[in-house]
Amino acid sequence: MSRLVTLHIDKQAHKFSAAHYTIFSATERERLHGHNYFLTTRIVAAMGENGFSADYNVYKRRIKALCDRYDEYMLLPEFSPYQTIERVGDEIHAHFAGRVLKFLADETWVLPVTNVTVEELSQLLLSELIAAEADPDLVEVELTVSSGSGQAASAIWRAD
């Protein structure tokens, strides 16, 4: 029977700033605004014979890379039932409730989500973290995205 260890990664550097708006209905959305998002991770892995489990440094680098990827971008949902997205030249046009919101394409991420919320971001970022490279010793990974004090969501991946 293997020994399991839980690692917690909560670094000040694991943050990114991004703009978004949450869509509530076909006619209602938040105003454009931004957040400083913070990522924390909990990793459950088998203890190796050398006294280590998952490599902290590998996961710290992966999490930092995720944060760097999304830092200082506009985030838009690709799959919202209330908004359509199109690329027009060097712009991204978001059509919502009869209006067109225009953003620079090279400063915008159109994410494969229904809405830009901490719930959706936790799922998306966890899938990107896990997809980076399979680690056979991983048992469970939980990634939490916080958009401010008292506002967070977590997604959990478990090995089959």
Task: Name the pTM for this structure.
Answer: 0.92
Q: In this predicted model, what pLDDT tens digit does every residue of 32-55 receive, in sequence order?
A: 999 999 999 999 988 877 777 777
Q: Is the CATH number 3.30.479.10 carried by domain 4-72+115-144?
A: yes
Q: What is the DSSP string of the chain?
A: ---EEEEEE--TT-EEEEEE--B-SSS-BPPSEEEEEEEEEEEEEEPPTTS--S-HHHHHHHHHHHHHHHTTEEEEESS-TTEEEEEETTEEEEEETTEEEEEEGGGEEEESSSS-SHHHHHHHHHHHHHHT---TTEEEEEEEEEEETTEEEEEEEE--
Q: Token digits for 3?
A: 């020994």
Domain boundaries, the chain: 4-72+115-144
- Please give the average per-residue pLDDT across 102-125, as a whole number: 98
Give me the pLDDT at residue 133, please.
66
